[in-house]
Structure 1
Amino acid sequence: MSTLPVYFLSHGGGPWPWMLDQYGGRYDALKASLEAIPAELGRKPRAVLVVTAHWEAPQLRISSGAAPGMIYDYGGFPDYTYRIRYGAPGAPDVAARVQALLRDAGIVAHLDPERGYDHGTFSAMAPIYPDADVPIVQLSLKAGLDPAEHLAIGRALAALRNEDVLIVGSGLSYHNLRQFGGAGAQASHLFDAWLRDTMALPPAERSARLLAWEQAPAARQAHPREEHLLPLMVAVGAAEQDAAAVQYHEDAFMGALAVSSFRIGG
């Protein structure tokens, strides 16, 4: 069985897959890029490990329930979006394997049987697997948001790629909610160009540049707080020796912003 690629996905805003009729085509390109992933993989994986920007903990936590519920971690959306369901099963055995790999690398992680799916997970996964028939495990970020720590987390999890577990970092390549439109256009394009250039570098240079991401053009305008960028570090760590490819790029996300998702390896 071939080694699976790793993805970093810019997951869009709130419960967008359930609001397409209200967005007038604004999410068509993102939706199409996500829907293309199963064909890129060529098979359904055993499970998906989602490193979600919407979960942080002092020590890593891993969702381990067999039937996770829903976390509606957004505000200001229509009432029905607080009743939507994405019913993918959990994978307790995969959660235990994730914990063991991290432990072997000296990284403390705790199983969390109560954690439900947040929108960093269900809004990304629903277009990929609309039948919710692939089990999902979520992994939190570690408080402090240290890039080197998150690269190391990814390295510890690399073996999953040969165990038919798809690793997905779910965040956004631009995440400044105070400038989420035309006001953020220039910063998003500057940072995104740097990010795409960085992801095209040889592996060692790619990792080194990501560790110094704050030196990028418009870095702190694009990410006043870096939680939506850190899932990329985990993804890169898990595929650190692989060449990278831009899987999806859009210059007019939400009307004006540049955003990118990446497939690494495969």
Structure 2
Amino acid sequence: MLPSLFISHGSPMLALTKTPAHAFLRELGRQFRPDAILVVSAHWASERLLVSTSAHPETIHDFGGFPRELYECQYPAPGEPELARRLARQLNAVPTERGLDHGAWVPLSLMFPEADVPVVSLSLPTTWSNAELAELGEKLAALREENILVIGSGSLTHNLSEMQTEGMPMPAWVGAFVDWVHFRLEADDRDALQAWQRAPQARRNHPTPEHFQPLLVAMGAGGQARRLHHSVEHGVLAMDVYAFT
């Protein structure tokens, strides 16, 4: 049975820049052949739970100030409207038409570069508690038995205002948070993780919560956590990837 995954997508330039995380995601995708993908991205926040029923989701370039080459990237994966409508009924989600934001298409373009696996996007409800987000993941867990890959796409750390020159060492305040999350995941301490804002340096690593919250959904959708990858970009963006089996 497929695991659920938490993927740190970092900067949109991950799609083009051959960093360790870029190389890892290319290898990771070769391990799976799902029939469909369900992705919860930090970049689709909403008050209510929404699900995209788009049959041909567009590639959304929801960023600014990057090279033209990045805006020329397209990820023409099909949608799966029937699955989306079923999820809308099961989850009491609102069906809507939406494309793939960079939290979805950037990592998927590395993992499944042929864009031949259908993708359904589920929004991240900003009004929900951490416990409710984990419960959402639990409701998605059955998809894994249907060979559907459940992905939470965010970033283990995400303070863009403190980004450093590439090659600079990871600051201690980033390492303290990364280590806390890793040890809590290894211990399967879900109560602590649902109170992650109390972790060391949590607020400095996540001035806003939306890039951590997809981890809670992925955690709920799976079992024991296993770290598959760890690297750091721009000194402060931890690019960790976890599988929940």
**8 Å CA contact 1:47, 1:134 repeated in 2:** yes
CA distance in 1, matches of 2:57, 2:205: 32
Change (3 A) 1:100 1:163: farther
Select the residue among 9, 14, 17 that pairs with 2:15.
17
Q: CA deviation at 1:37?
A: 2.0
Q: CA deviation at 1:62?
A: 0.8
Scaled by the length of structure 1, what TM-score is found?
A: 0.86
Is 1:30 aligned to residue 16 of structure 2? no
Q: CA deviation at 1:256?
A: 5.5
User: Which stretches of structure 1, 4 residues or longer, exceed 4 Å deviation after superposition?
Assistant: none
**Gap runs ≥5 in structure 1:** 103-107
User: Pairwise mapping of residues 68-147 of structure 1 onto structure 2 (< 5 A)?
Assistant: 68-102=57-91, 108-113=92-97, 115-147=98-130
Q: CA deviation at 1:56?
A: 0.9
Helix, strand or coil at the partner of 2:204: helix
CA distance in 1, matches of 2:217, 2:237: 24
**Gap runs ≥5 in structure 2:** none
Q: 2:178 aligns to what?
A: 192
Q: CA RMSD in A?
A: 1.7
Helix, strand or coil at the partner of 1:65: coil
Q: 1:64 aligns to what?
A: 53
Q: CA deviation at 1:87?
A: 0.6
Q: 1:201 aligns to what?
A: 187
CA distance in 1, matches of 2:109, 2:29: 12
Q: CA deviation at 1:247?
A: 0.9
Q: 1:247 aligns to what?
A: 228
Is 1:213 aligned to residue 196 of structure 2? yes
Q: CA deviation at 1:144?
A: 2.4
CA distance in 2, matches of 1:82, 1:254: 21
Percent identity over the alignment is 37
Change (3 A) 1:229 1:100: same
Code of the residue aligned with 1:253 in structure 2: it is E
CA distance in 1, matches of 2:219, 2:236: 27
Q: CA deviation at 1:194?
A: 0.5
Q: CA deviation at 1:184?
A: 7.0
Q: 1:105 aligns to what?
A: none
CA distance in 2, matches of 1:232, 1:47: 20
Q: CA deviation at 1:54?
A: 0.1
Change (3 A) 1:184 1:129: same
Q: 1:53 aligns to what?
A: 42
Q: 2:209 aligns to what?
A: 226
Helix, strand or coil at the partner of 2:239: strand
CA distance in 2, matches of 1:256, 1:224: 13
Segment of structure 1 superposing worse, 212-221 or 78-87: 78-87
